[in-house]
Each structure stands twice: as C-alpha cells, then as structure tokens.
Amino acid sequence: MTSPSQLVYDERLTAPNTWWVIADLFGVSMALIFFPYGPVAALIALTLGACLAGMYVSAQGSTRIRVTGDTLFVADARIPLTALGRPEVLEGEEARAWRTYKTDLRAYMVMRSFLPSAVRVEVIDPDDPTPYLYLATRSPERPAEALGKG
C-alpha cells in the first residue's frame, strides 16, 4: 500500500531531440536572412531566432504526468484517484481514433504530436462533466498500472 504523498509514477513529456536541432537550424536561417545587414545583425538574429525556437520546444516538453498514492497531477490539473475509473491503454489506430473522431469535446486531453500512444481514463465522479482523460505518453502501460493501483 502506498502512502498518499508517495510518488508512484512521474513522466515529463519532453520534445524529441530532433526538435532541438530544428530550433538551432531556425536560428541559423534567421542569421542567414539578416547577414546582408552585417555580421552583428546576423549574430543578433541567430541568438534571437534560436532562443525563440528553443522556448517553443521547451514549452512543448514542459508538461508532466505524476501519480501519487491518491492523486493524479497532469499539467495544472489535480484529480483524486477516487474520481477516476479503470485506465485503458491506447496505441496505434485506437489512440488516433480517440484523439480524432471518437473524441468528446468535454474530455480533458493532453496531446503531443510526437507521442502516438496514450492512456484513457474514465471520470466516474458524478459532479464532474468531464467524461474521460486522454493522456499522451511514451509508455502507456506504466501510467495505466500506476492509476490502476489507486
């Protein structure tokens, strides 16, 4: 049995390394655009372009999914495990279906384009209008197991 504050699962939905390369290349392309105005302008454009693109990539990878003994933390949401039903692992076509044509607009969805698998958890709290949570994850079995223990 886990204590209510004990961390059972923790995952940061970080962006892939190739996105960081693209952010750097964005900075280089900005430098090339401003190079005709001189090397100082190119250096400033390189710095600003790489910083702005890096901030975007960093923001895409800042979301965390954490499960403690009694609570699920996703981004800014805190959901007691007693309000959640059985988790369902979604991969491949089933995950795509739940984030497209099967989706309910009232659902709480954490999607990342670089994560094709997810966990879907029903919300069983009668006072909550949210029908389910859709949580994109790299290894859906691990959060499903952590949520199932609650």
User: What pLDDT shows up at residue 149?
Assistant: 67
Residue 98 in this model has a pLDDT that exceeds 90: yes
For residues 51 and 87, membership in a common domain is answered with: no
Q: Are residues 141 and 88 in the same domain?
A: yes
For the segment 85-109, the average pLDDT, to the nearest whole number, is 92
Q: Residue 132: inside a domain, yes or no?
A: yes
Residue 70 lies in a domain: no
Picking from 2, 140, 4, 1, the residue whose alpha carbon sits closest to that of residue 80 is 4
Question: pLDDT at position 35, please?
Answer: 97
Q: What percent of the chain has pLDDT over 70?
A: 96
The reply to whether 46 falls in a domain is yes
Between CA 61 and CA 36 the distance in angstroms is 35
42 vs 31: CA distance, rounded Å:
4
pLDDT tens digits, 9-48: 999 998 899 999 999 999 999 999 999 999 999 999 999 9
Residues 132, 68: Cα–Cα separation, whole Å: 19
Three state DSSP letters for 14-50: CCCHHHHHHHHHHHHHHHHHHHHHCHHHHHHHHHHHH
**71 occurs within a structural domain:** no
Q: Based on the domain organization, do 41 and 91 belong to the same domain?
A: no
Q: Into how many domains does the chain fold?
A: 2
Same-domain pairing of 136 and 98: yes
Q: Which domain holds residue 143?
A: 81-149
Of 88, 74, 68, the closest CA to residue 4 belongs to 68
- pLDDT, the chain, mean: 91
